[in-house]
Chains A and B, each alone.
Chain A
Amino acid sequence: MSNEKTDWWVGFFVLLGLVALSFLALKAGNLNALSFAPTYSVTAKFDNIGGLKVRAPVKSAGVVVGRVSRIDLDNKTFQAIVSLDIQQGVNFPVDSSAKILTSGLLGEQYIGLEPGGEDINLQAGSTIRYTQSAIVLESLISQFLYSSADKQGSQNPTPNTGIKGER
């Protein structure tokens, strides 16, 4: 085979490989999803972050506006410090609140931002003051069990009357 023909086939092969790589990066991966968009970072403190992970989405009204960039533990207050990278150009008032929510019943956890009413906006490095922790299923269930046990106890103030309370 002549040199030129070989070159053509090799060029074709390399091109195909590069197309495949960009297909994997752009179509299968999330490179086009605000990876290179400029962001600013704000922090929020939570009592409990549940199963929140780094790179989890930050959503406002269901629209992805940023991602969780890092999660640390404050060793004085024993709260989780979550850093959020929010897209440049999306501004939130300083009294906005952050909640940790779950998509679907067993889905991924994400941070939901709810805008407040102040005129001043969050700046890079500022802290979101109003936060709501993740709902941990176990504590929810135990709370429910305790409260229902409490109720039963108050309904039957004198259980030792010889007859067992109907159940």
Chain B
Amino acid sequence: MNLSDKITVLGRKTNICLVTLGLFAQFFLTIIRRSSIVFKRPRLVVQQIHFIGNYSLIIIAVSGLFVGFVLGLQGYYTLNRYGSEDALGLLVALSLTRELGPVITALLFAGRAGTSLTAEIGLMKAGDQLTAMEVMAVDPIQRVLAPRFWGGVIAMPLLAAIFSMVGIIGGWIVGVALIGIDTGVFWSQMQSGVDVWKDVVNGVIKSFIFGITVSLIALFTGWRAKPTPEGVARATTLTVVAASLAVLGLDFLLTALMFSN
């Protein structure tokens, strides 16, 4: 292969990247535009919140608890070296509300709910169910995709908040119940250091944006999957990879924007 062919290949790849990005943005706008069904038939969204949120509850709560345990232990070992183990509550709460809560929840959400969304849409497509809907004059974007999107967007911030709460309780269990830091100091240090607007609300905004990102990527890859078993498998893998990378990259951007000063 000579140089000019290589340049052609590079150009084609760039083209595919740009087209996919454009389709993704178009997909997002289409879903938003056809979201009126959320108010017309809220039951569809409720069902999706049940499917996405409730079924992810256990894994989110258990992971949150263990992340809280580990934060409590590791934080105590490090802070103890400087004689400031009183600040353990602050450390646990800040790291959970600002970063770990939204990010780990989004990663678990991509693995737990995102994959099932992709597989579901992909199999619907493989089984020609979406085409059948179109034949029956039912808009599949409105009927299938929009409720799932909004279900994910609503469920994600709630899951992240639950994760942070359970994590703080986990940190409390290790720090206060097992190691023996004073419980009043634990909470008062936390309350003096955690700002509701700067830390908690920014964390919720983050998880909201991650919810949009992960749900959208999951639906998009399912929507664009090749209608074969292999294509669905590929799309499911792509969901996890792309959503995780997007979450981590976006997290850096959001952190730089939100906590810059």
Contacts and interface: CB of A to CB of B under 8 A. Distances in A.
A24 interface: yes
Nearest to B46: A10
Nearest to B164: A24
A31 interface: yes
A123 B46 CA distance: 53
Given A17-B157, A17-B158, A28 B190 contact: yes
The interface residues of chain B, by DSSP majority, are classed as helix
A110 to B, nearest CB: 11
B49 interface: yes
Given A24-B165, A30-B191, A3 B43 contact: yes
A13 B161 contact: no
Contacts of A129: none
Given A27-B187, A28-B190, A29-B191, A13 B54 contact: yes
Interface residues on B, range: 20 to 34
A73 interface: no
B2 interface: no
Contact of B158 (A16, A23, A29, A30): A16
A159 B75 CA distance: 56
Nearest to A15: B158
Interface in A96-120: none
A17 B191 CA distance: 20
A20 interface: yes
B192 interface: yes
A27 to B, nearest CB: 7
B165 A23 contact: yes
Interface in A1-50: 3, 6-7, 9-10, 12-14, 16-21, 23-25, 27-31, 33, 35
A21 B156 CA distance: 12
A112 to B, nearest CB: 16
Contacts of B168: 23-24, 27-28
A13 B154 CA distance: 11
A63 B214 CA distance: 46
Query: Interface residues of A toward B: which range?
Result: 20 to 34
Contacts of B47: 6
A28 B161 contact: no
A144 to B, nearest CB: 26
**What DSSP secondary structure best describes chain A's contact surface?**
helix
Interface in B166-221: 166, 168, 187, 190-192, 194-196, 199-200, 203-204
A56 to B, nearest CB: 11
A70 interface: no
Contacts of B165: 19-20, 23-24
B57 interface: yes
Contacts of B46: 6-7, 10
Nearest to A64: B192
Contact of B97 (A7, A9, A17, A28): A28
Contacts of A21: 158, 161, 200, 204
Nearest to A18: B158
Interface string A62-100: 000000000000000000000000000000000000000
Contacts of A17: 157-159, 161-162
Interface of A: 3, 6-7, 9-10, 12-14, 16-21, 23-25, 27-31, 33, 35, 55
14 contacts: A10-B54, A12-B54, A13-B49, A14-B49, A20-B158, A21-B158, A21-B204, A24-B161, A24-B164, A24-B203, A28-B190, A28-B191, A29-B196, A33-B191
Interface of B: 43, 46-47, 49-50, 53-54, 57, 93, 97, 155, 157-159, 161-162, 164-166, 168, 187, 190-192, 194-196, 199-200, 203-204
Given A10-B53, A13-B53, 13 more contacts: A7-B46, A10-B46, A13-B49, A13-B50, A14-B158, A17-B159, A19-B165, A20-B158, A21-B204, A24-B164, A27-B187, A28-B97, A28-B200
